[in-house]
Amino acid sequence: MPALSLVALVSLVSTVFAKQLDTHPPQQQDKHWAQICSGNPINKIRGCDRYGCGYFGADRHGHKGKHAGVDVICADGATVYAPFSGQLSGPIRFFHNGNAIDDGVQIRGSGNCFFLTSLPPPSLPGYCVKLVCVHPIRYHGQIHRGQQLGRMLPMQKVFPGIISHIHVENCDHSDPTQQLTPDVPPFPQQGSHWATVCSGNPTNEIRGCDRYGCGYYGAPRRNGKGKHTGVDVICSDGATVYAPFSGQLSGPIKFFHNGNAIDDGVQIRGSGFCVKLLCIHPIRYNGRISKGQVLGKMLPMQRVFPGITSHIHVENCDRSDPTSNLERGK
């Protein structure tokens, strides 16, 4: 091919590609979003403080409402990044009162990647999210995944002592937690049966029945109007608690939401498993942990429920029955 023709072809392809980029910006292929706030590489979610909790569905408005988003921890003044590529629109006024954090922006983009083609891209499912309590560099135009979006606003001025955070809310009010959780290499698991959860209970024996109720999965709760969504593994107050499998920790998990002596716990997510261990105080709430490694200690359940069979509440994240994993092949 003559050199002049080759140059002309390259120029033509470049022009077409540039026009398609303007109309259909390249999007990420994976379902996990990028880091949103500097200093929080894993998009750690706010736990609980005196203002409430940061997870999706947490109680709001005195138990008359639910949290429609997720609070990603972010220090006041920190740099904020775009979680995915898309189109900006705003401003978003969440509080409608002009306070120091009443600003934000929406990003709408696709979760797929467009390739160079002479045809328009197919209609693809995408993302639409509102990032609130941030001041964006701009409210309109296109932005790419990981590009600087703006900065975190001074939340401590409005809510002194709160865990400063960005409110991340899907436009359809669905749960964005899965997209915020980064990919991690799978953890090696040794079979489907979990390790001993509590010292002194090598077979993960499940609590029977006492005057407070029964410990098996599906046991009646709230005078027969509810069901037990976990399993109670017997554990003496103060006993050492171990990780049932290898995984990533997150927490704290507040079950009672009243600050009593046993209102603490942690979640472990590993290869194929996700479980919440409640009524324990973990050594730490974040980071990786290996199967059988010391996780923490059992809290003083007898202070709260005198005479109960002290136990760890073990609940699968999807509320399925964890009994077969706890039985260790019995």
Q: pLDDT band for position 31 (50/70/90)? A: low
Tens digit of each residue's pLDDT (9 = 90 or more) over 43-68: 888 988 889 888 888 888 777 788 99
Nearest-angstrom CA–CA distance, 319 and 230? 7
Q: Is the dihedral of CA 152, 153, 156, 159 positive or negative?
A: negative
Better-scored residue on pLDDT, 125 or 117 = 125
DSSP-derived pairing of the beta strands 148-152 and 79-81:
antiparallel
- List the strands of the sheet with 280-282, edge to edge: 240-242, 294-298, 280-282
Q: What is the pLDDT of residue 64?
A: 77
Does this model's pTM top 0.75? My answer is: no
Nearest-angstrom CA–CA distance, 25 and 112? 11
Asked if residue 244 lies in contact with residue 194, where contact means CB atoms within 8 angstroms, the answer is yes
Asked if residue 306 lies in contact with residue 283, where contact means CB atoms within 8 angstroms, the answer is no
Angle at 253 between CA 224 and CA 153, to 5 degrees: 130
224-256 burial: b if 16+ Cβ within 10 Å, else e: eeeebbbbbbbbbeebbbbbbbbbbbbbbbbbe
DSSP-derived pairing of the beta strands 70-73 and 134-136:
unpaired
| % the chain with pLDDT above 90 | 58
Mean pLDDT across the stretch 222-232? 88
Tens digit of each residue's pLDDT (9 = 90 or more) over 280-324: 999 999 888 889 899 999 999 999 999 999 999 999 999 999 999
Nearest-angstrom CA–CA distance, 68 and 49? 18
Does residue 25 carry a pLDDT above 60?
no
DSSP-derived pairing of the beta strands 240-242 and 52-53:
unpaired
- With residue 213 as reference, give the H or E element that holds it: strand 213-214
Does residue 182 carry a pLDDT above 70?
no
Which domains occur in the chain, in start order?
A: 48-114+124-180 (2.70.70.10), 209-325 (2.70.70.10)
3-state SS class at 149: strand
The burial class, CB within 10 Å (0-12 / 13-18 / 19+), for 75 is middle
User: What are the backbone dihedrals phi and psi of residue 221, each rounded to the nearest 5 degrees, phi first?
Assistant: -135, 160
Residue type (1 letter), 318: D
Mean pLDDT across the stretch 234-239? 95
